Amino acid sequence: MKIRFIALPLTLASFMPAVAQQEAPAQKSDDAYTLKTQANVVLVPSTVRTKQGETIYTLRADQFVVEDNGVAQAVRLDEDTDSLGLTLVVLVQCSRSAVMEYAKLTGLPSMLDDLAGGAPRQVAIATYGKEPTLLGDFSADPHETVSAINQIEPCDGSDAATLDAVAWASSLLDERKDQNRHVILLISETRDHGSHKKPADVIASLGRTNTVVDSISFSPGKNEIFGDLRFGGGSGPLGLLVMAVNAVKKNAPRALAELSGGEYINFTTQKNFDAGIHQLSNRIHNYYLLSFQPQPGPNGAPVDGLHIIRVKVPDYPDAKIGSRESYFSGSLDSLPADLK
């Protein structure tokens, strides 16, 4: 079974009591998986592995339980994710210590082939320091992708505005208006340096557009566990968003990957980098594409704010589940100024 992330996915991160209802297989209509303004479909790409790391295949929709802020949802499972195309932005940091890592990117073109597999693809290549630069616009031609990758080179400056670059890449994907899986492959150091975008704004953007962020970071990150975030800590939607923002400040690539459903990988050597891309490829081709329609609040409108997603497979209580952890609904207008 080849399975493929709101967001994104994302990767590429981890996500009950009542058994979810099984729905009919998704129809391949023009709006099958479009995330509307009211966030009426949330995609939850999920991997399920044993304790030993072996993938568990052939699970059915009724074996998954997906909770949205603690409330079990009716789950749909796409049985034919190979038919979904991939729209990908490869976003590579070019400033600061990035120059030390460029030699490790020589195999990136073939690795992107592994990520896309046999699915239709549109790939764009960009670098960023203070601001993002598009080296190659979306193309299905592997030769154009290779040509763009060959243009990657160091850039001057002490900024590495990761949040700004991710927000820019998310807007590029949103403009596509296609039915493909939307993914940002972020290759960067762990810390943001010089972004003007607020973390809450970027989290919301990824959550509204079904974009997954897969992150491969230059240096080892701390083993930061979002315990409170995953297990319902915080005081309401605002408290959850505050925790998510704080996580982004500590390690932007990791937090964005986990919140959007992507994978987060550190590398220090060529071997680490190659293994990381291989890990991403395995995940993308062996995940379950779950989805659900969020239930409205008491007034019939969507519940605004950051929503926490949890996924379990009761038949496999000890399984390791990787999935997106959140999505965002509503407007940021009512948030405190320091979060906007």
Q: Quick one: pLDDT at residue 38?
A: 37
Nearest to 96 by CA among 52, 168, 153, 160: 160
Q: Quick one: pLDDT at residue 34?
A: 35
| Least confident piece of the model among 55-69, 76-90, 142-156, 198-212 | 76-90
Taking 60 as the threshold, does the pLDDT of residue 3 lie above it? Answer: no
Whether residue 129 contacts residue 94, with contact meaning beta carbons closer than 8 Å, is answered with yes
What is the value of pTM for the model shown? 0.70
Q: Quick one: pLDDT at residue 11?
A: 29
The mean pLDDT value for 84-102 works out to: 86
Taking 50 as the threshold, does the pLDDT of residue 284 lie above it? Answer: yes
Dihedral angle computed from the Cα positions of residues 220, 322, 88 and 172, in that order, rounded to the nearest 10 degrees: -90
Residues 131 and 1: their CA atoms lie apart, in Å, by: 40
Whether residue 156 contacts residue 186, with contact meaning beta carbons closer than 8 Å, is answered with no
Taking 50 as the threshold, does the pLDDT of residue 71 lie above it? Answer: yes
Tokens matching residue 137: 């616009």
Nearest to 330 by CA among 211, 208, 216: 208
Mean model confidence pLDDT for the chain: 75
Which residues lie across from 216 on neighbouring strands? 187, 265
Which residues lie across from 92 on neighbouring strands? 127, 187
Taking 90 as the threshold, does the pLDDT of residue 128 lie above it? Answer: yes
Q: Quick one: pLDDT at residue 138?
A: 96
Residue 278 pLDDT level (bands cut at 50, 70, 90)? confident
Sort strands 320-323 and 42-49 into parallel, antiparallel or unpaired: antiparallel
Element at 259 (helix H, strand E): helix 252-260
Residues 78 and 60: their CA atoms lie apart, in Å, by: 10
The mean pLDDT value for 273-291 works out to: 76
Tokens matching residue 191: 């810390």
**Separation of CA 261 from chain center:** 4
Residues 6+ away with beta carbon under 8 Å from 193? 96, 158, 159, 160, 161, 162
Express each pLDDT in 40-68 by its tens digit.
Answer: 788 888 889 888 878 888 899 999 999 99
Residues 6+ away with beta carbon under 8 Å from 110? none
Q: What is the CATH number of domain 1-340?
A: 3.40.50.410
Residue 198 pLDDT level (bands cut at 50, 70, 90)? confident
Tokens matching residue 180: 């493909």
